[in-house]
Chains A and B, each alone.
Chain A
């Protein structure tokens, strides 16, 4: 099996501001968010990152997506270092999270051209891809409506389209349904299942067990910045439910 993403001994510590210290109710000046984390994701597989809030999932995915830099360790996509060559890595990844927003003022059509140009696509490539994606997500009819006037569901679809505009080798989802209403969330999960059918490589962080059970080939369980379990879903669950397995592991680790 071909390794597409290799994460090696990632470590990331945040210096906390006074305000963050108060929010955490602790006097600790530093927070180790990711603590020597490693895993591999293979081509054509869907990898699920599972973990409680604050486990370090977002931090890990942000490091992989080149938005932030690790203190130690590195991640490689198709063998290219995220740390040393972020520009190349950006060409190969798509990143979708509810934190990445589109500018309200523009239309899907305009934003498509804009981001496609920033991805250095040619005019012909842009038109071809646009027709394909707008049709697939039913955006065609709304392509000249400003983002702020779109329904949340349609907004989400445009976000998805923009994140995969350059047909990336690997798509990273960070709690993609977080904060979405059920119908909009369904748009996202439907898309995930389509990607699975197409044999795309996906990294998905979530705490929805059922989604992982239905979707993922491989699961990593992160607790307090460390990878506790990293295995095929089938090896992990055997005859138990993922939820039970997770809480068993969690109890052992945290001890409660």
Chain B
């Protein structure tokens, strides 16, 4: 045990104090952030100059509220025509109308005479489409105005009170959830893989090339401890590298896409599930890449042998772009790689069951164990270790 810790400490010291390695580990994350941010700011400048025009339809608007929509610098076009609700919703879906506001009849009068706790308060319903930026902007502005007003008169009316009514006309409910569940599993696994690729390919094949592996093998340290020490230190380092890349991506995402992401739907459970998946994924990749590195005669060979694995993982990531949501069949959560992508889709779309999460994590631990066992066997096999 002590020997394993010694090996881990030494490897980590190497990874985290060698400037060249540090550079290769953490530069990608920083670059991703800088590049995407710059790209994003260029794109937003080129594509949409600040939105100042809005298309609104209002039914039964109280005189007293007319000032809400008179905003300095904004041009709010108020449609005179009295739309039917259904007609307006259609227009909002098609993004021809930004906002449809329907007050109850005699809204202001009823509100003034309303006693809190006695029957239904008067209400206002506001329809919008969060996937249209102009709609999202004016919706949040208008509800803010109403909220502010409402708080001064102690809650005498309701905004969008009907929980069964869908006020947001975006095609699916939560856009953040949807976008993330489409793109993130692929991006995350790719980052986790590339984060491990460099150092893992280098690990054993590099030691073979430099002739340092035999110096280690001549010590009485157990082969399994050497293998575990290598895997764990590589895993920790890969994880640090991929997480930096991932954070770089997350931070630059709003700038790149021009929409702000609302992560509030994701709770603590999500974070822990995600952490679990990330840990097993990194360890699985690390184990596989180290096996490849061990088979290889040189770092170059190891890198080229690892490319097909990378392509495979990207393909599996893409194959799920078409389907919506995670699969339900439990057995599918036992298939290597596929289960990782599916679980991530499930996590991001908030639809992963605990059973499937556990199936995924434990099956991966099982695969990692097989990998470590195989590696130990390989370390005992002179044909593999001394095949320079």
Q: Which residues of A line the B interface, CB within 8 A?
A: 65-69, 87-88, 90-91, 93, 95, 99-106, 110, 114-115, 117-120, 162
Contact = CB atoms under 8 A, between A and B. Distances in A.
Interface string B1-12: 011001100100
Given A68-B386, A114-B6, A117-B6, A101 B212 contact: yes
A21 B386 CA distance: 17
A90 B223 CA distance: 13
B3 A118 contact: yes
Contacts of B30: none
B220 interface: yes
A103 B212 contact: yes
Interface of B: 2-3, 6-7, 10, 13-14, 18, 210-212, 214-222, 382, 386
Contact of A68 (B210, B219, B382): B382
B357 to A, nearest CB: 38
A59 to B, nearest CB: 11
Contacts of B13: 106, 110
6 contacts: A67-B382, A87-B220, A100-B214, A118-B3, A118-B219, A119-B220
Contacts of B3: 117-118, 120
Q: Which of A68, A102, A117, A120 has the most CB of B within 10 A?
A: A117
Contacts of B7: 118
Given A114-B10, A117-B2, A100 B218 contact: yes
A102 B212 contact: yes
Contacts of A90: 218-220
A118 B3 CA distance: 5
Contacts of B10: 106, 110, 114
Contacts, number: 63
Nearest to B222: A87
B210 A103 contact: yes
A91 B220 contact: yes
Question: Interface majority SS on B: helix, strand, loop or mixed?
Answer: helix
A50 B119 CA distance: 108
Contacts of B211: 99-101
B333 to A, nearest CB: 40
A159 to B, nearest CB: 9
A78 B151 CA distance: 91
A206 to B, nearest CB: 20
A69 B212 contact: no
A120 B212 contact: no
A93 B10 CA distance: 24
B218 A102 contact: no
Contacts of B214: 67, 99-100
Contacts of A114: 6, 10
A209 to B, nearest CB: 28
Given A110-B13, A118-B3, 18 more contacts: A66-B218, A87-B222, A91-B220, A99-B211, A102-B212, A106-B13, A110-B10, A114-B10, A115-B219, A117-B2, A117-B6, A118-B6, A118-B7, A118-B221, A119-B220, A120-B2, A120-B3, A120-B220
Contacts of B218: 65-67, 90, 93, 95, 100
A74 to B, nearest CB: 16
A181 B258 CA distance: 65
Given A67-B382, A103-B210, A114-B10, A162 B215 contact: yes
B239 to A, nearest CB: 22
Contacts of A100: 211-212, 214-215, 218
B103 to A, nearest CB: 73
Contacts of B217: 67
Contacts of B210: 101, 103-104
B342 to A, nearest CB: 40
Contacts of B18: 105
Contacts of B386: 67-68
A115 B220 CA distance: 10
The 6 closest A-B pairs by CB, nearest first: A101-B211, A68-B382, A118-B219, A90-B220, A117-B6, A100-B215
A24 to B, nearest CB: 17
Nearest to A88: B220
A168 to B, nearest CB: 10
B191 to A, nearest CB: 26
A91 B218 CA distance: 9
Contacts of A103: 14, 210, 212
Contacts of A102: 212, 215
Nearest to B3: A118
B384 to A, nearest CB: 12
Contacts of A117: 2-3, 6
Q: Which of A87, A91, A95, A101 has the most CB of B within 10 A?
A: A101
Given A68-B382, A69-B382, A105-B18, A118 B212 contact: no
